[in-house]
Amino acid sequence: MTLYRQLFIGTSIAFLVLLVLLESIYIANARFYMQEQLTSHAQDVATSLGMVLPPSLADRDLLRAEVTVNAVFDRGYYQSIVVLSTRGEKLIEKNLALAPASVPVWFTQVFPMHAPSAESLITKGWQQLGRVIVTSHPNFAYKQLWRTSIEATLGLIVLYVLSLLAIHAFLSRVLRPLKDIEQVAHAISERDFQQIKTLPRARELLSVVKAINSMSAKLFAIIAHEVKQATRFRDESRKDVLTGLDNRRGFEEYVHALLEHGADMTSGVMYMLQLANFNAFNISKGYKDGDVLLKEVADGLRVIWPKQDMLRCRINGATFAVMVFNISREEAGRLGESLCATVGAIIQEHRTPPAVAL
């Protein structure tokens, strides 16, 4: 599982637990408020009836008293209203059957609400005429509490979804450098030394990104140096240090490659040039002048047919080789004449006794 998923799941679960806890506290407080409202409502109605019923009871007009009670009871918010005499006799009694609340049963079990009762004395002046007892019906409170719970739940679900989107955007932004680090690490393993251009704001990730960029740059420099060294060593192994032409090893590798992959070769010619008496020239003129002569001969070989694909090499000492393919006999003859003329002219300039041998 990726770090993003772990952080996303952990954060979402923690936030979900927090929202469930907040909703539980909210519903519990709403239930407590509803319960207090039922009690307060029952007491208010009992007090109001205690102030309205005295004229009817003083005149012993129970019909008028019952009409007054019915006007309040028929609203349906009360489970019972009972009017008692001073001796405890029931003068008026109104009861509403306790029907099941129109909410899920489990909801009433999790958030139970009892039917509160309140009473008030019925007096006229200093004369006590009786008392009235009012019991509120909890079904209406259950409906209100259920509706409040549904609205709160929907609101919290919307908030939770928005929070998940915010967490997704936040984690994607924070963890984006890790993806860049992963891509750069794979690129480095493929010898592609990239750099992470977008620097994160988090200090820890910023340090890691800087370390990766520094490692990539250093590896690139090290490998570039090693490649340069390897190329130089390879060239030195195939090139003659003095003249810059291919040496004997380069000559042999070239011939070997032609023998293996020379399917397109139809004709060819190879000339071996050797400066006769070169050792005597070195002894008489010095090795420094001998090196100068060899360099000038190499330069002369380069200017002969410069656009032609031709192998020019120094085999050893004063021996050179020139090899070219896919030319005619006439062209081969002209090439030999050019070689003799060019090298001979160089030797004449040095006024040396060695002759050119082909």
Instruction: Determine the structural domain holding residue 288 and report its residue range.
Output: 248-357
pLDDT band at 356 (very low <50, low <70, confident <90, very high): very low
DSSP secondary structure letters along 239-273: B-TTT-SB-HHHHHHHHHHHHHH-TT---EEEEEE
Q: Tell me the per-residue pLDDT of 12-52, one tens digit each, with 9 for 90 and over.
A: 899 889 988 988 898 889 888 888 888 888 888 888 888 88
Q: Tell me the per-residue pLDDT of 224-280, one tens digit each, with 9 for 90 and over.
A: 888 887 777 776 677 888 888 888 888 888 888 877 776 577 788 889 888 888 888
The reply to whether 75 falls in a domain is yes
Based on the fold, state whether residues 148 and 20 are members of the same structural domain. yes
248's tokens: 């004997």
Is 50 exceeded by the pLDDT of residue 358? no
pLDDT band at 350 (very low <50, low <70, confident <90, very high): confident
Domain boundary among 162, 188, 210: 162
d(CA 313, CA 327): 19
Based on the fold, state whether residues 216 and 154 are members of the same structural domain. no
Element at 320 (helix H, strand E): strand 319-325
Based on the fold, state whether residues 12 and 140 are members of the same structural domain. yes
Q: Tell me the per-residue pLDDT of 104-158, one tens digit each, with 9 for 90 and over.
A: 888 888 888 888 888 888 888 788 888 899 888 888 888 888 888 898 889 889 9
Element at 33 (helix H, strand E): helix 3-52
Q: Tell me the per-residue pLDDT of 291-328, one tens digit each, with 9 for 90 and over.
A: 888 888 888 888 888 888 888 898 888 899 998 888 88
The reply to whether 156 falls in a domain is yes
Q: Tell me the per-residue pLDDT of 61-117, one tens digit each, with 9 for 90 and over.
A: 888 888 888 888 877 778 888 988 888 888 888 888 766 667 888 888 888 888 888
pLDDT reported for residue 1: 66
pLDDT reported for residue 158: 92
Based on the fold, state whether residues 155 and 10 are members of the same structural domain. yes
Tell me how many domains the chain contains.
3
Mean pLDDT score of the chain: 82
User: With b meaning 16 or more CB within 10 Å and e meaning fewer, what string describes 93-128?
Assistant: ebebeeeebebeeeebeebebebbbbbbebbeeeee
Q: What is the CATH number of the domain that holds 43?
A: 3.30.110.200
